[in-house]
């Protein structure tokens, strides 16, 4: 049952109730209005399984309404704004997000259970920065121009003109919901597009809250729309199949990317994909051991291993292998599991019981394949209501061959396999022997080694003596099955705009 705009004005509160206590609803946001459907699914808190909200699943009707609203908005006040006005309003969005920092943190914690400091210092501020950086950048990007000699001895002038691509579908995962959604919405809007966001069914809250922000700062109706639901036979599929969508930007699993690519093939619509990974972490014997252990602890376990850039395959040069494993074990065992706002907590739960079952199946597989369990390997003992959460132990294995599923497949949990290597050539070959190519982190005391490794590794992003250190002006994306295209800085223009060449005979 769709609630009409007229009924909504009576039925729906001025603010969406995402932050109200349990049993509140998360609504779709279409053409500046909250839209309920009566088809509700539960959004639960992974720390204890409690109900966060009931979410209105969008069907074809709501998706179609969102597409029509987004198309109309391209021709309305939004489409007529000057670049300056558009950039100013995106700064207003960022300011309002930071003013409501506590609300965004709370929404993100309820959906994901991530430690509060992570949402406070990474997820939410990066969400705001994703609007500022692209607003500032696109205001100042030149287009190319060439003078051409013509056959008759004259000249012609060529210049580039960029225009928005149109209606952009933004399909998002659950691991860093606000950060990853705004990473797409920021540049899409800065380029003058309109968007329809399909947040993950696991994490609907911050996208809904952002709708309030958009409305409160005066983003015209139809520019930012949210449709809730699942993938196949639900809002995700309906949106990506919709002929009125001019481009699909997606972050998520490689298999889902394949399904979306098939949907986008109809009508030859472009895609921008940030997909899965099985990223190597490589530690040379000359590395600063303290920094390398701290870095790999973050890259393997931060956000309970639910970071696409995380490292589940660690290669350590043989002379320091035993010392490194002992130090990493101590560091993993010092992580503190618990609810987001408990002081000292560094690790939250996995996103859901379903995802925990998947990760635990890999923990079982590691044992079957004869891995040495250095630490972890199971479910931690939690107290009170937390026993109903999707908690899992950070886990380190050694002793598996490179052919093992654990070393080849993305687990997306707080775990890594550590293996010794002898030479640079060997580790490059082993690191590259994967279908994925998202990121790598290399730890070495010799910067020349670092540069050689960066050039030799088949990845879109290579960190040397660092990890997840981001400058939003740089290219971001994966090679091989980890993605299609690059976003970040001016690279985002390639997907979010159409570039037209104008040739003028002089």
Ligand X SMILES: NC(=O)c1ccc[n+]([C@@H]2O[C@H](COP(=O)([O-])OP(=O)(O)OC[C@H]3O[C@@H](n4cnc5c(N)ncnc54)[C@H](O)[C@@H]3O)[C@@H](O)[C@H]2O)c1
Phi, psi of 434 (to 5 degrees): -150, 155
Q: How many CA atoms lie within 13 A of 77 on its CB side?
A: 9
Helix (H) or strand (E) segment spanning residue 188:
helix 177-190
Q: How far apart are the first and last CA of the chain?
A: 60
- The nearer residue to ligand 2VS, 134 or 315, going by C-beta atoms, is 134
Q: Is 463 in the site for ligand 2VS (CB under 6 A)?
A: no
Q: What's the CA gap between 137 and 134, in Å, rounded?
A: 5
Query: Shortest distance, CB of residue 260 to ligand X, whole angstroms?
Result: 5
- The nearer residue to ligand X, 73 or 197, going by C-beta atoms, is 197
CA distances from 423 to 285, 318, 420, 440, 454 (A): 10, 9, 10, 17, 15
DSSP labels, 375-397: E--SPPP--GGGGGS-----EEE
* Active site annotation includes 274: yes
Of 196, 308, 320, 328, which one interacts with ligand 2VS (CB under 6 A)? 308
Asked whether the beta carbons of 487 and 272 are under 8 A apart, the reply is yes
Q: Which of 108, 274, 393, 410 is catalytic?
A: 274
Q: Is 397 in the site for ligand 2VS (CB under 6 A)?
A: no
Asked whether the beta carbons of 66 and 170 are under 8 A apart, the reply is no
Of 16, 112, 175, 182, which one interacts with ligand 2VS (CB under 6 A)? 175
Burial code of 208-223, b = ≥16 C-beta within 10 A, e = fewer?
A: bbbbbbbbebebbbbb
Q: Is 171 in the site for ligand 2VS (CB under 6 A)?
A: no
- The nearer residue to ligand 2VS, 129 or 392, going by C-beta atoms, is 129
* Beta strand spans in 429-495 (E): 436-437, 439-443, 461-464, 479-480, 483-484
- The nearer residue to ligand X, 276 or 338, going by C-beta atoms, is 276
Q: Is 436 in the site for ligand 2VS (CB under 6 A)?
A: no
Tell me the residue number closest to ligand X, measured at CB. 231
Build a one-symbol-per-residue string for 476-495: x at contacts with ligand 2VS by CB under 6 A, - elsewhere.
Answer: x-------------------
**Sheet of strand 24-26, all strands in order from the earlier edge strand to the far edge:** 24-26, 51-56, 40-44
Of 176, 264, 337, 461, which one interacts with ligand 2VS (CB under 6 A)? 176
Q: What's the CA gap between 245 and 350, in Å, rounded?
A: 33
Q: Is 440 in the site for ligand 2VS (CB under 6 A)?
A: no
Q: Is 172 in the site for ligand 2VS (CB under 6 A)?
A: no
In the complex, the residues that contact ligand X under the rule CB under 6 A are: 171-175, 180, 198, 200-201, 230-232, 236-237, 240, 251-253, 256, 259-260, 274-277, 308, 410, 412, 438, 478, 482-483
Query: Shortest distance, CB of residue 281 to ligand 2VS, whole angstroms?
Result: 15
- The nearer residue to ligand X, 65 or 172, going by C-beta atoms, is 172
Of 70, 89, 180, 185, which one interacts with ligand 2VS (CB under 6 A)? 180
The count of residues interacting with ligand 2VS (CB under 6 A) is 9
The piece of 94-102, 213-221, 288-296, 306-314 that touches ligand 2VS (CB under 6 A) is 306-314
Asked whether the beta carbons of 122 and 469 are under 8 A apart, the reply is no
- The nearer residue to ligand X, 233 or 446, going by C-beta atoms, is 233
The token pair that represents 205 in the structure block: 């809250």
Q: Is 467 in the site for ligand 2VS (CB under 6 A)?
A: no
- The nearer residue to ligand X, 129 or 386, going by C-beta atoms, is 129
Residue 454, Cβ density class (10 Å: 0-12 exposed, 13-18 middle, ≥19 buried) = middle
Q: What's the CA gap between 33 and 3, in Å, rounded?
A: 10
Contact residues for ligand 2VS, defined by CB under 6 A: 175-176, 180, 183, 307-309, 470, 476
Any idea which residues carry the catalytic annotation? 274
């Amino acid at each position: 049952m769709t609630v009409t705009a007229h009924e909504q004005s009576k039925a729906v509160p001025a603010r969406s109730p995402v932050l109200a206590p349990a049993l509140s609803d998360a609504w779709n946001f279409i053409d500046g209005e909250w839209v309920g459907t009566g088809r509700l699914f539960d959004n639960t808190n992974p720390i204890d399984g409690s109900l966060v909200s009931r979410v209105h699943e969008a069907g074809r009707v709501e998706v179609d309404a969102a597409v029509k609203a987004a198309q109309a908005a391209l021709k309305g006040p939004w489409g007529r704004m000057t670049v300056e006005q558009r950039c100013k309003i995106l700064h207003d969005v960022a300011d309002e997000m930071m003013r409501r920092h506590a609300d965004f943190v709370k929404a993100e914690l309820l959906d994901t259970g991530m430690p509060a400091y992570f949402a406070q210092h990474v997820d939410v501020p990066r969400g705001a920065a994703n609007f500022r950086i692209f607003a500032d950048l696109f205001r100042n990007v030149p287009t190319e121009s060439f003078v051409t000699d013509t056959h008759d001895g004259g000249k012609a002038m060529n210049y580039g003109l960029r225009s928005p691509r149109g209606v952009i579908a933004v399909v998002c995962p659950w691991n860093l919901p606000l950060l990853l959604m705004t990473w797409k919405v920021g540049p899409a809007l800065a380029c003058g597009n309109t968007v329809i966001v399909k947040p993950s069914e696991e994490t609907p809250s911050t996208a809904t809250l952002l709708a309030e922000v958009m409305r409160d700062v005066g983003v015209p109706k139809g520019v930012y729309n949210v449709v809730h639901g699942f993938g196949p036979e639900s809002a995700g599929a309906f949106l990506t199949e919709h002929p009125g969508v001019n481009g699909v930007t997606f972050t998520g699993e490689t298999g889902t990317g394949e399904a979306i690519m098939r949907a986008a093939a109809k009508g030859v619509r472009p895609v921008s994909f940030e997909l899965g990974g099985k990223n190597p972490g490589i530690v040379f014997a000359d590395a600063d051991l303290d920094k390398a252990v701290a870095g790999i602890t973050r890259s393997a376990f931060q956000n309970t291993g639910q970071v696409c850039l995380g490292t589940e395959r660690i290669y350590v040069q043989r002379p320091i292998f035993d010392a490194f494993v002992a130090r990493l074990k101590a560091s993993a065992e010092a992580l503190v599991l618990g609810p987001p706002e408990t002081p000292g907590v560094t690790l939250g739960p996995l996103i859901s019981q379903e995802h925990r079952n998947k990760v635990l199946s890999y923990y079982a597989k590691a044992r079957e394949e004869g891995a040495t369990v250095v630490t972890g390997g199971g479910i931690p003992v939690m107290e009170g209501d937390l026993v109903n959460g999707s908690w899992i132990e950070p886990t380190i294995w050694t002793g598996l061959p490179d052919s093992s599923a654990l070393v080849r497949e993305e687990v997306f949990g707080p775990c890594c396999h550590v293996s010794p290597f002898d030479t640079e050539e060997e580790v490059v070959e082993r690191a590259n022997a994967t279908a994925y190519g998202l990121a790598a982190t290399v730890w070495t005391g010799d910067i020349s080694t670092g540069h050689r490794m960066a050039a030799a590794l088949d990845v879109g992003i290579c960190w040397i003596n660092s990890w997840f250190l981001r400058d939003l002006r740089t290219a971001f994306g994966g090679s091989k099955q980890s993605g299609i295209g690059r976003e970040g800085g001016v690279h985002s223009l390639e997907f979010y705009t159409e570039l037209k060449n104008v040739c003028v005979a002089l």
